[in-house]
Amino acid sequence: MAIERTLILIKPDGVQRGIVGDIIGRFERTGMKIVGMKLMKMSDELASQHYKDHVGKGFYAGLVKFMTSSPLVALAVEGPKAVENCRKLMGKTFCTDAQAGTIRGDFGVSRGLNLVHGSDSAESAQRELGLFFQANELQEYSRAVDAWTWNDEDKG
Ligand code: DAT
Ligand code: MG
């Protein structure tokens, strides 16, 4: 099935800079559906689980310090090819490399302060959503516009 769910984090820099609404709007206006959302502080423990593939890398300590320094917003986003689509909207990892029109390209100028996280595969999405949301925190609901937003062809 091509309708997927993915984890998006609006990182502490996005919250501190007051652009949470702008960033959520980028995802919302595509038609993808927000099915989970919370403002929370990332613990060291959660950081090590979430970034398990980066543990031991040179940038890991700085990354964890940044991610645990202040609240972030976690979102569960649903839609056709949501994982890939969200990554496309985010742009390349470092804002300095990200194209204009992407979230990182339009809102950031830094390498590490790159505003958003998005899961990089369906498997990561499933794992990461489980770290940030209990099953009962993810909402199943229909919208009046769903029929005008995606159709059977998109469901694959
Ligand atoms: P992405 O966030 O685009 O999935 P990633 O998973 O490779 O990128 O890395 C996770 C975060 O770690 C990334 O958003 C910023 C930081 N990071 C990655 N590579 C880095 C590097 N070489 N130097 C500094 N920070 C880095
Ligand atoms: Mg990544």
Q: Please indicate whether residue 155 or residue 119 has the higher confidence score (pLDDT).
A: 119
Mean pLDDT calculated for residue range 102-111: 98
pLDDT at 2: 85
Q: Look at ligand 1, atom 16, and give the residue with the nearest C-alpha.
A: 112
In a domain, 85, yes or no: yes
Task: Tell me what pLDDT residue 155 has.
Answer: 87
In total, how many domains does the chain have? Answer: 1
In a domain, 152, yes or no: no
| Ion ligand 2 contact residues with beta carbon within 5 A | 120
Residue 156 binned pLDDT confidence (cut-offs 50, 70, 90): confident
Q: Which residues are catalytic?
A: 117
Helix (H) or strand (E) holding 64: helix 60-67
In this prediction, residue 1 has a pLDDT band, given cuts at 50, 70 and 90, of low
Nearest ligand 1 atom to alpha carbon 118: 4
Domain that holds residue 92: 3-132
Mean pLDDT of 83-94: 98
139 in a structural domain = no
Here the CATH number for the domain that contains residue 60 is 3.30.70.141
Q: Which pLDDT value is given to residue 44? A: 98
As for ligand 1, residues whose beta carbon falls within 6 Å of it are: 54, 59, 63, 93, 111-112, 114, 117, 120
Asked whether residue 78 is assigned to any structural domain, the reply reads yes
Ligand nearest to the CA of 63: 1
Give the predicted TM-score (pTM) of the model.
0.97
Q: Is residue 65 part of a domain?
A: yes
The answer to whether position 66 is within a domain reads yes
User: Does some domain include residue 55?
Assistant: yes
Mean pLDDT, rounded, for 22-40: 98
DSSP state, 121?
A: S
